[in-house]
Every structure is written in structure tokens, then in C-alpha cells.
Structure 1
């Protein structure tokens, strides 16, 4: 089942299920309660499918990248937070501020939490996962490593729009069978199997829940693998995962208007 958020012709924001090119409004994410008549998806403007209370990202969670970079496999998620204002969605324009310097894309699989989760077993964590989405974790490399005494994970990843999410949340996805692909101006620039994850989704959720309570709507980016590279203003970047779809944004510069 594909869940989405969208703006209608009257400007109202709705959450619902997409089926047969129609948007079926629901009372809330995961609710069975209808909240209006179905509307053609073509008449809606898709938004990020969830507004997370916590937007968590992982580092060093793919075997191929860890091997290339000479990193040990972590036994607990190595994570950071992205600001809530970094959230952007399908078709957005994302400004690359001059202060950000070199910016790279990172195509990632995203986990959406559906149930409150604290000190969860792996089995309980599996049940707490609502579904999966596409994420582009845009990152300023220059800021990340600007101060040798303190890698600036949060600042480098929290510029407005730097957390691209969408187009939908798919609740029925065999994550281990999918490939994460990134297209830049239509050309494939990153492609890797999600099955290469070091810590799989249920284990990620279980371990994070030992550190903090995870709430419905919280979002976890599972990390990226080989192929992330710099992007510039004027480029269109799309993250595609079969079964979920593709989320595309256009990058602009701070002097573009």
C-alpha cells in the first residue's frame, strides 16, 4: 500500500492512500478512516509523505563502502540528526547556499516508524516499521570536515531542503530485493543493492530504540553506499527505488533568484 501526503486544488493538505492513480484521503497516516472523496493524483501536488518528529541518518552502514573506505562494520548504528526544516519532497527546488561549498547527493532507503518503540527486540522493531520511502541525504562535505576537532554532521546535513523524502511510503516492500538508484539530469550516477546493508532495518530500529523512544512518523535514513558524488545548481537529482518510485528535486544556487 502506498501512502502519501499532498496538497489539493483548494490548498488543503491531506494524507491518504494512492491506488489506481487516485488519491484516497484518510484521517491520518495508517488510519482506515476515510476523510473525503477520492481525487485524481494528477490533480494533487505531492509533499513529503511524512513529517517526522525525528529525522535520523546513518553513516557507514554498507559493506562495499566500508570495505573501500577501510572502516570496520559497526555493531550499533552510527547516526546523526537532520533538522526538521531540512525536509523537502517531490518536485521541490532546493537551494545550495554559497556557505555549503561542495555538496554531494546520497541516495538512501528510508524507514518510517508506525508504532511507539522503546527497548524493542528485533521482532518488535519489525512490527514497528510502518513502511519505506526514498531519501536523498544532501550533505555539505566542506562543512562536515571544516573543523578537524569536530566533524559537523548536523550542520552539514541540515540546510533547508537537504532532506529529500518521497514520493510515497510503501508498506509492502521486500527491502532486501531492491536497488537504490540515483539519476542526475537523467543519467545514472549511483546504484547499489539494499541487501548490502551491514545493519538491516529491524536491527537498526531495535538498536536505536535502546537509545531513545521512537515515535510514529519518525524517519530513519539507512545510509548510502558507493557512488555518492558532488552536485551543482541547475542539476535535477532523482532517487529511485523500485516498488516505491522516484523523488526528484531541482538544485538552485543562492543567487538564482
Structure 2
């Protein structure tokens, strides 16, 4: 954890921007050696008991955001991540329009939360890239659900940085290493919360690197909308509560050099900030 990384205002609400006062935002946290979860409002966490994805109840405990260490807001069994899901990116890179989502799997072991450091893989001397994305968090077991019904299976939305060892991805012509290049520990950055929103298609995803905006794109530019993705993927596999669909990224992806701070910002969801600071690395930024 990077001390002081995510609290810059008096209440800490700067990382959890609110679009409308009724937006519910779930967080998981660590406090006094114990883990918990609850709803965040105006810098105060209202603790809940039970299970996040099953009839949780308010416990009556309250904590200030500054008192806790935020964790990844869910514990997915898998992250289902997209490639080539944006019209602007496909046009710029002369990619084909997909007839069905192009997806790959990131394992649960790669997941970290807001404020955690992004680590450089041991034995890999290539560069890492950031990819700011919108994430869909599944709220209940989802398999074979129609597009009209799928919203009932979504708990909410979160920010994602889909970190990639880019030189490893295309190292072998015979078989692109999608899973390996994207599955190292700390490569699945999720947070800071799960926001319950009715219309994710109106959102914009921004990525800011060391204070400079690198990405700013509309979710509405997707080939397959967030809810389209849930329905289509659930036709292939069972999605469990807490699983995450990373909706893909658009223009503006670049490599990270050591001591880089990356923030993925989605108004109405929050700001996910992490630092890439390997002990030894000689990568330069493109």
C-alpha cells in the first residue's frame, strides 16, 4: 500500500466522485486488521454484515474513509476482459469489426485494489502498458440470460487498469500470449468501489499518467455495450457473483516507466490510482 495515496481531501471523496446523491457505492476495506464492506457516502463508510452479494444488512458501524485501507471492491473468480471493443481504436489500427466479443481471461490471483503498487514480473525485461477501462461487476449467478433481463444480474460498475506485459504478448508468432501477458500478480487493478448506475453507456473513461491526461473516451463507442457483453459472455460460461467483465480500452495506451502513477477516472464511479515503481527496471516510456 502506498501511504497517503488515495486521501487528498478532508473527506477523501475526491476518489469517489458522486453523480447524483442517490448513487450507491460499495467498498471493501481493511481496518484494525479486519476486513469489512459497506456503503460509502460523503466520506463515511456505513458498515454492513453478511455477504456483499446476498441480502447484506447495515451493521450500525461507521468509519471515516481516512481510517481504512481500501481493498479491491470484489473478489472475482475470474476477470473476463475484452480486446478490440471500440470503433475509434479499430478504425485507427485498421482492425476488423468483431461479430462477437473477443475476450480472454485474467485470473483472480492478479487482482489488486486502489493504492496498491503495480509490480514488474520477475524475469521479464520488457515494458508494461496501462489500459484504463470500465468494469462490470456481476451481482448474482448469470448463465444464459437474455439481453432484456441481464441488468438484474449486474451489481454495478468499477474502474479497471488492465496492465499488460506488451512485449510478451506478441513474442511468439505461433501463439499470442494473451493470458500470460495479462495475468501476472498485480496486473488486474480494480476499484475504488462498485457504483450502482442505471446507464453506463453515458460514462467516459479517462486515464491520467503522472498528471497528464492520456485517455478520454466514451463508453458509447463500444461495439458491444456493457450489458451486451454480460449477456453474450453468459451464453458461453457461468458468471459468478463478484466476477468482473473488463469492457476493453480505446486510444491512448502507452508504456509505463518506473515511478509512474496511473489514475483511471470515471465520473460517477471514482478514481483508481496506483503506482508502478519496480525495484530495478530500465524501461523507457514510448
TM-score (structure 1 length as normaliser):
0.95
**What is the deviation of 1:12?**
0.5
Aligned-residue Cα RMSD (Å) equals 1.3
Contact 2:136–2:156, Cα closer than 8 Å, also in 1: yes
Contact 2:193 2:270 in 1 (8 A): yes
Q: Distance in 2 between matches of 1:254 and 1:137?
A: 21
Do structure 1's residue 67 and structure 2's residue 75 form an aligned pair? Answer: no
Say which SS state the counterpart of residue 240 (structure 2) adopts: coil
- Cα 1:64/1:100, change in 2 over 3 Å: farther
Shift of 1:20: 2.2
- After TM superposition, the structure 1 = structure 2 runs for residues 189-228 of structure 1, keeping only pairs within 5 Å, are 189-228=214-253
Question: Structure 1 residue 55: deviation in Å?
Answer: 1.0
Q: Name whichever structure is richer in helix by fraction.
A: 1
Q: 2:132 corresponds to which residue?
A: 107
- Distance (whole Å) between structure 2 residues aligned to residue 107 and residue 255 of structure 1: 25
State the 4+ residue runs in structure 1 displaced beyond 6 angstroms.
none
Contact 1:102 1:142 in 2 (8 A): yes
Q: Choose 99-108 or 234-243, whichever is displaced more.
A: 99-108
Query: Structure 2 residue aligned with 1:180, among 184, 188, 205?
Result: 205
Of 121, 140, 150, which residue of structure 1 is paired with 2:165? Answer: 140
Conserved in 1, the CA contact under 8 Å of 2:168 and 2:181?
yes
Structure 2: segments with no counterpart, 5+ residues: 1-23, 282-286
Provide Cα deviations, 1:202-237, integer angstroms capped at 9, x if missing partner.
Answer: 111111011111111110100000111110211101
Deviation of 1:86 after TM superposition, in Å, equals 1.0
Q: CA deviation at 1:61?
A: 0.4
Instruction: Identify the residue that residue 46 of structure 1 maps to in structure 2.
Output: 70
Deviation at 1:254, TM superposition (A): 4.2
**Counterpart for residue 40 of structure 2:** 18
Name the structure 1 match of 2:184. 159
Q: Which stretch has the larger CA shift, 73-82 or 143-152?
A: 73-82
Contact kept? 2:201, 2:226, Cα under 8 Å: no
Q: How far apart are residue 130 of structure 1 and its match?
A: 0.9
Kindly indicate whether residue 258 of structure 2 is the aligned counterpart of residue 245 of structure 1: no
Contact 1:116/1:214, CA 8 A, preserved across alignment: yes
| Alignment deviations for residues 154-205 of structure 1 (CA, whole Å, 9 cap, x no partner) | 1100111011100000012531221100111111111111110110011111
Within the candidate set 138, 142, 155, 1:117 is matched to 142
Gaps of 5+ in 1: none
How many correspondences in the alignment?
255
Aligned to 1:35: 59
Contact 1:2 1:18 in 2 (8 A): yes
Q: State the TM-score, normalizing by the size of structure 2.
A: 0.86
Partner of 2:105: 81
**1:2 matches 2:2:** no
Write the distance in 1 (CA, Å) between the matches of 2:33 and 2:26: 19
* 1:127 to 2:149 alignment: no
98-107 vs 85-94, greater mean Cα deviation: 98-107
For 1:42, what is the secondary structure of its paired residue? helix
